[in-house]
Structure 1
Amino acid sequence: MTTADTQPAAPYGTPETPRVAVRGEARLEVDPEIARIGITVSARGTDRRSALEDLTRRNAEAVDLVKTYGEAVEKLETGAFSIAPELTKRGKGERVRTYHGSVHLTAELSDFTALGELTTRLADLELTRVDGPWWALRPDSPAHGEARRQAVREAVQRAREYAEALGAGLAALVELADLGAERAEAYGMPMAGGMRMAAYGGGAVEEGVPVLNLEPERQVVLAQVNARFTMTPPDLSA
C-alpha cells in the first residue's frame, strides 16, 4: 500500500474530482393539525374553605364540559394550582381580607368544528378565562418529512445546475447535513391573533351560547440541508 493510498481525500476535491457544496431549502404552508386552549378557573372567598370549595366546583364543571366532547379532545391536562390570601393594606396588624384561588387547564383538540363551540361554552362558565387557540402541527406530522425531501431535491437540482454550467455532471454524494426542519412558531407558544375571553357572574351553561367561527392559522414548515457532491472534470475550454 502506498502513502497516497493511506491519505484521506482532499476536503475540497481535486482537479480530477472537484467538489460542489450547496444548500437546499424548502418552505411549506400547511393546515394545522391541532389547536390548544388554556383554561383558567378562579375563585375568591372571605375564608379559605369557601374559596377552595368554589374552586373545586368550578374546576369540576370545566373538566366535565371539556370531556363531553369525547374524541375531539385529544388531551386535557391540569397545570398550576394556587390559593393565596390577600391581606388588608391598612391597619397595624395583618389581617386576611380575602382568598384567591385558581387552576390552570390545557386542552388539545383536533376537531376544529368543536373548538369554536367549546371555547364559548367555557367562557360562559363562572369566573373562567379562556386563552388561545394556539395552532400547531404534531411533532410526527408528515409535513416535516415532505419539507425535508423537498430541501434535498432542491440541493441536488442546484448542484446539478452548477455542474452543468461548467460542462460537468454530478458523480457522487459526499455529505448531506441536516440543518433542521422546524415550524416558524414553536409548538404550543402563543401566536398573533390569539383569543382571550373571560366570564364573570352567571352560573350554569346556558343553551344557545353563540359559537365562535375560528379560522385555523396556516403553519409554516422549514427545512434546510447542506450537501456536497463530487463532479466529473469540468470543460473549461469554452
Structure 2
Amino acid sequence: MFHRILTAVLFCSLLSGTAWAEPVERRITVAGEGRIEAAPDMATITLGVTHEAKEARDAMQATSEAVAKVLERLAAMGIAPRDLQTRQLSLNPLWSDSSVSDRDRRRITGFVASNTVIVRVRDLAALGGVLDAVIEDGANDFNGLRFGLQDPAPLMDEARQRAVSDAMDRAKLLAGAAGVTLGPVLSIDEHGGGSVAPMAEMAMRMSAAGAPVAAGELTITANVAMVFAIAE
C-alpha cells in the first residue's frame, strides 16, 4: 500500500515538474501611430440671435423674426436644409439689481430671448460671405467656427495603415536590437478609434469676399497596439 502511494506521489511530482518546465511564450508588444494632414472642405458655424424687451412676447418675436431672416438668406446662398439645425431656444427674465441697503425684493424688468443655430458650410470659398451675410441680417451671437471633412473615412483608413506600418517597423527594430527573430502577429488593437483635430497654428487668408478665415489643415490620427511572437 505504501509502495503505491509513494509511486503516485512521484508520478505527480514528475507531472508538476514538467508543467513548470514549459517555456513561456516570448512576445514583443509595440505601439504605432499614423498621421495625415489634409485641407478641410467644410466649416461648421454656431451663431445666434439675442434680443431684449420688456415683454416676453416682444423679445421672442424680435428674435424669431431675425432668425427667420438669417435662415432665408442662408437658403438663398445655397445652404441646404439638412445643413441647418436649431441648437437652442431660450427665454429668460431680466432681474433688477439689488444692493445690501435695498430692502425691496428683486423684480423682473424685462426678458431676453435667444435662438442658436448650427450651420454647415460645404463651400469654403463662400465662408467669408456667409459670415458677413448672417451678421448683416441680424445674427449678434457668434459661438465658434470649426473646420472639418465631409468624408473623413478614406483618410482615416490611410492613417490606420500608417499606424500598422509604424508598429511593424518598431517591432523589427526592437527584434534586431535584441538579436531575436520576429515572429507572426498575435494581436492588433486600435486605440481611440481615430481622431480628426485642427493644427495648432493656421495661416490666415482672405476669402473671395467677406471676413478673413483660417482654413489651415486638419490632422487625422490613428493609434494601434500590436503583439508579435518571437520566433524560435
Fold equivalence (TM over 0.5): yes
Task: Give the C-alpha shift of residue 58 in structure 1.
Answer: 0.6
Among candidates 114, 122, 128, match of residue 140 of structure 2: 128
What is residue 57 of structure 1 aligned with on the other side?
A: 65
Q: 1:43 to 1:172 in 2, by over 3 A?
A: same
Structure exhibiting the larger radius of gyration computed from Cα positions? 2
Task: Give the C-alpha shift of residue 227 in structure 1.
Answer: 1.0
Contact 2:67–2:139, Cα closer than 8 Å, also in 1: no
* Structure 1 unaligned spans of 5+: 194-209, 234-238
Q: Does 1:222 align with 2:230?
A: no
SS at match of 1:171: strand
**Alignment map for 1:142-157 (pairs within 5 Å):** 142-157=154-169
CA RMSD of superposed structures (Å): 3.1
Contact 1:175–1:229, Cα closer than 8 Å, also in 2: yes
Q: Does 1:35 align with 2:40?
A: no
**Alignment map for 1:199-218 (pairs within 5 Å):** 211-218=210-217
Q: Does 1:70 align with 2:78?
A: yes
* Aligned mates of 1:75, 1:88 — CA distance in 2: 39
Q: 1:167 to 1:211 in 2, by over 3 A?
A: same
**Which string of whole-angstrom CA distances, capped at 9 and with x for unpartnered residues, describes residues 12-42 of structure 1?**
52xxxx4222221222222223211111111
Contact 1:20–1:230, Cα closer than 8 Å, also in 2: yes
The one-letter code matched in structure 2 to 1:147 is A
TM-score, normalised to structure 1, is 0.71
SS at match of 2:174: helix
**Alignment map for 1:177-196 (pairs within 5 Å):** 177-183=189-195, 185=197
Among candidates 75, 89, 98, match of residue 110 of structure 2: 98
What is residue 201 of structure 1 aligned with on the other side?
A: none
* Aligned mates of 2:23, 2:155 — CA distance in 1: 34
What is residue 204 of structure 1 aligned with on the other side?
A: none
| Length, aligned pairs only | 203
Task: Give the C-alpha shift of residue 77 in structure 1.
Answer: 0.6
Identity of aligned residues (%): 22
Contact 1:170–1:232, Cα closer than 8 Å, also in 2: yes
* Aligned mates of 2:125, 2:23 — CA distance in 1: 56
TM-score, normalised to structure 2, is 0.73
Task: Give the C-alpha shift of residue 184 in structure 1.
Answer: 6.4
Among candidates 153, 173, 194, match of residue 141 of structure 1: 153
Q: 1:60 to 1:155 in 2, by over 3 A?
A: same
Contact 2:52–2:59, Cα closer than 8 Å, also in 1: yes
